[in-house]
Amino acid sequence: MARKKNESTLTMPWQARGAFLRELFFGRQVRYLPWVVLGVLSLGGLLFSAHRRSQVRETRVAIDRVHRALTAFRLDFGRCPSSMTELVHPPRSGVRYLEEDPRDAWGNPLWVRCPARYDEDDADVVSAGPSGNFLTDDNIW
């Protein structure tokens, strides 16, 4: 028996479940699927890059904080600290230059060279970056 085009069919609740996905993957809307996938991937990429930028910004703030603490320590004691723990627990004064051992946004310790390689009155503070390896090209100065 042929059904007329304008006749509606009765859909049971268990048949309607997942109808949108069935229609999306197997129906007329399949032509929109690549655009939906592209949109989801683009949004994921944007969120990932925004998160990465915030981690780099947080690491640069930590590097600046350590650099200022090293400068203050050198002004007070006239020398570089022998280790990073001297910035947290200074030898004679009750002044703490840092509250805790400095770490970057990925939880890795910062590397400090005092005095700096090219300037005796400065210090080098470097993060290994997202990889956690100083031998890769993602270090943050």
For 16-59, give the DSSP string.
HTTHHHHHHHHSGGGGGHHHHHHHHHHHHHHHHHHHHHHHHHHH
The count of domains in the chain is 1
pLDDT of residue 111: 87
CATH number at residue 121: 3.30.700.10
pLDDT of residue 11: 65
Residue 138 in any domain: the answer is: no
pLDDT of residue 133: 80
Residue 10 in any domain: the answer is: no
pLDDT of residue 58: 92
pLDDT of residue 2: 57
Question: Which residues in the chain land under pLDDT 50?
Answer: none
Residue 22 in any domain: the answer is: no
pTM, two decimals, is 0.67
44 backbone dihedrals φ, ψ, rounded to 5°: -60, -40
Residue 121 in any domain: the answer is: yes
Residue 31 in any domain: the answer is: yes
Mind listing the pLDDT tens digit for each residue in 15-28? 666 666 666 666 66
Q: What is the span of the domain harbouring residue 87?
A: 27-126
Q: CB-based contacts of 125: which residues, under 8 Å, 6+ apart? A: 63, 66, 67, 70, 110, 111, 112, 141
126 backbone dihedrals φ, ψ, rounded to 5°: -135, 145
